[in-house]
């Protein structure tokens, strides 16, 4: 499993892209997608809602369990991935591409986000 170097990672297994015009893309990592199993339902935050770093903002349901979705940053939701709502399996098949979950206008990026190498070491155990 290879975590893209340009992304930042949370200890709750979400990834965050570098902000473009203040907006970052958020998804779950391949590690998390594999641990969840086949994702069959995605409840994503509403556009316009505010999210807080480390707090639940939705959930992913798989054939194994239901897992809370946590925001890695504080900010306002600007877009959700309707493709994932319609086909939640994208979370498993393309977690870093088409399986992204939402876009957020970042108010403040927490200092505790991990680099790809740090996240790889963290998720290894």
Give the percent of the chain with pLDDT over 90.
88
> Is the confidence at residue 30, as pLDDT, over 80?
yes
Contact 99, 80 (CB under 8 A): no
pLDDT for 8 = 96
pLDDT for 1 = 60
Q: Which of 88, 77, 92 is nearest to 32 (CA)?
A: 92
Contact 69, 15 (CB under 8 A): no
pLDDT in tens, 60-103: 999 989 999 999 999 999 999 999 999 999 999 999 999 999 99
Contact 107, 74 (CB under 8 A): yes
- Distance separating alpha carbons of residues 50 and 57, to the nearest angstrom: 9
Q: Which two tokens stand for residue 16?
A: 């965050």
Q: Which of 81, 109, 108, 115 is nearest to 6 (CA)?
A: 115
pLDDT for 84 = 97
CB atoms within 10 A of CB 120: 16
């Amino acid at each position: 499993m290879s975590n893209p170097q340009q992304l930042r990672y949370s200890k709750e297994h979400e990834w965050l892209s570098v902000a473009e015009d203040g907006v970052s893309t958020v998804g779950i990592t391949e590690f998390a997608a594999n641990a969840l199993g086949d994702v069959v339902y995605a409840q994503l935050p509403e556009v316009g809602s505010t999210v807080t770093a480390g707090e639940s903002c939705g959930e992913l349901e798989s054939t194994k369990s239901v897992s809370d979705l946590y925001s890695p940053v504080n900010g306002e939701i600007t877009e959700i991935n309707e493709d994932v709502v319609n086909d939640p399996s994208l979370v498993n098949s393309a977690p870093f591409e088409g399986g992204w979950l939402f876009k957020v206008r970042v108010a403040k990026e927490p200092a505790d986000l991990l680099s790809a190498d740090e996240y790889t070491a963290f998720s290894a155990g």
